[in-house]
Amino acid sequence: MKASTAIAAIATFAFALPVYAEFTLDPRFSDADGDLIADIPTDPAQLVDPETLIFAYTPVEDPAVYAEVWQGFLDHMAAVTGREVQFFPVQSNAAQIEAMRAGRLHVAGFNTGSNPLAVACAGFRPFAMMAAEDGSFGYEMEIITYPDSGITAVEDIRGGQLAFTSETSNSGFKAPSAILSAEFGMVAGTDFEPVFSGAHDASILGVANRDYPAASIANSVMARMIEREAITPDQIVSVYTSQTFPTTGYGTAHNLTPELQDAIREAFFSFDWEGSALQAEFANSGEAQFIPITFQEDWAVIRTIDEATDVVYECN
């Protein structure tokens, strides 16, 4: 999905908001060029040039599975940058953000919802996203249930329980909260009981195994789980599908040397997907390449959702 289409799709919400929600960086960062991401420090003493790069993928599913999936790409990054590259299996969005903020994480893929928090509080500089061969990208938030749950429409969740993933997740919390309030007049804690599973795969498995009556999830994760036969399609019934949102954004810590940041970018855009483990895994959700993105344009819809749900980027 192109950025202009994503921004235009904001009109599908019932609330009227500016395209660009208010967004500020932590005071420890500067943004002289106004692109909403932290500038690379001009003082050489503030730059880091590690011999070993630490990479983390957003913790949406089993980290052990994705350590193998990413290994071929990390080998390519090592060849391009001349550095060792290690996979860091994070267990939560908060832990991933804190690792970059503390200087322990250099390259990462942050999920849609936590991307703004990583940019604001950890100095994350996103520049790439996975996309299909035709350049389209994105996923939808779906509210799912199981057959014979008694839920055939979103309104049927009223008075019951809905599983979210975590408060930093777009499709697992922010977008459904905004949509349920704006389109259906339903507020968590008042009209239904919210519970938190911690991850999209946990929510999907929870519904498939009938532990949760309903859940809001990213359908790209569900597609990959179906392809791996972690669940079967007949275990799930979808009662709502949202507009398309941008997916995981990939980038670097702001204080890596400019030369190293350039080399890491080159590694992403020169990677050959053909026959790779990345291709085998992410083809299940329609992705076949890395494409350039900007946080300012491609995350406008997410910042707007954050403003609609009164998100405050608190950087401790």
Write out pLDDT tens, residues 197-250: 999 999 999 999 999 999 999 999 999 999 989 999 999 999 999 988 999 999
In a domain, residue 162? The reply is: yes
Q: In CATH, what number is assigned to the domain containing residue 198? A: 3.40.190.10
In a domain, residue 313? The reply is: no
Same domain, 226 and 288: no
Q: pLDDT, tens digit, for every residue of 103-134?
A: 999 999 999 999 999 999 999 999 999 999 99
In a domain, residue 315? The reply is: no
**What angle (nearest 5°) sits at the alpha carbon of residue 208, between those of residues 196 and 206?**
20
Give the end of a domain, one of 228, 245, 262: 245
User: What's this model's pTM, rounded to 2 decimal places?
Assistant: 0.80
Same domain, 131 and 266: yes
Same domain, 132 and 39: yes
**Token couple for 67:** 């350590």
In a domain, residue 147? The reply is: yes
Strand pairing category for 52-57 and 84-87: parallel
Residue 299 makes CB contacts below 8 A (sequence gap 6+) with 115, 116, 126, 246, 249
Q: Quick one: pLDDT at residue 22?
A: 67
Same domain, 240 and 254: no
Q: How many CB atoms lie within 10 A of CB 271?
A: 16
Same domain, 172 and 226: yes
Give the end of a domain, one of 219, 245, 271: 245
Q: Quick one: pLDDT at residue 56?
A: 96
In a domain, residue 39? The reply is: yes
Alpha helix positions (H), the chain: 3-8, 63-81, 93-101, 115-122, 175-184, 200-208, 219-227, 258-270, 277-282, 295-298, 300-308
- Average pLDDT of the chain is 90
Same domain, 251 and 237: no
Number of domains in the chain: 2
Q: Which residue has the tokens 């996975």?
A: 130
In a domain, residue 316? The reply is: no
**CB of 251 closer than 8 Å to CB of 177:** no
Same domain, 130 and 8: yes
Burial class (CB in 10 A: 0-12, 13-18, 19+), 37: buried
Same domain, 240 and 273: no
Give the end of a domain, one of 198, 222, 245: 245
Instruction: Give the structural domain span for 228.
Output: 139-245
Same domain, 62 and 161: no
Same domain, 218 and 258: no
Low-confidence ranges of the chain (pLDDT < 50): 1-21
What burial letters (b/e) apply to 136-156, b meaning 16+ CB within 10 Å? ebbbbbbbbbbeebebeebee
Q: How many CB atoms lie within 10 A of CB 238?
A: 13
Q: Which residue has the tokens 């001349």?
A: 82
Same domain, 222 and 282: no
**Token couple for 17:** 């908001």
**Token couple for 57:** 């993928």
Q: Quick one: pLDDT at residue 60?
A: 66
Same domain, 118 and 209: no
In a domain, residue 11? The reply is: yes
Q: How far apart are CA 303 and CA 285, in angstroms?
A: 24
HSE, side-chain direction, 13 A CA sphere, residue 141: 24
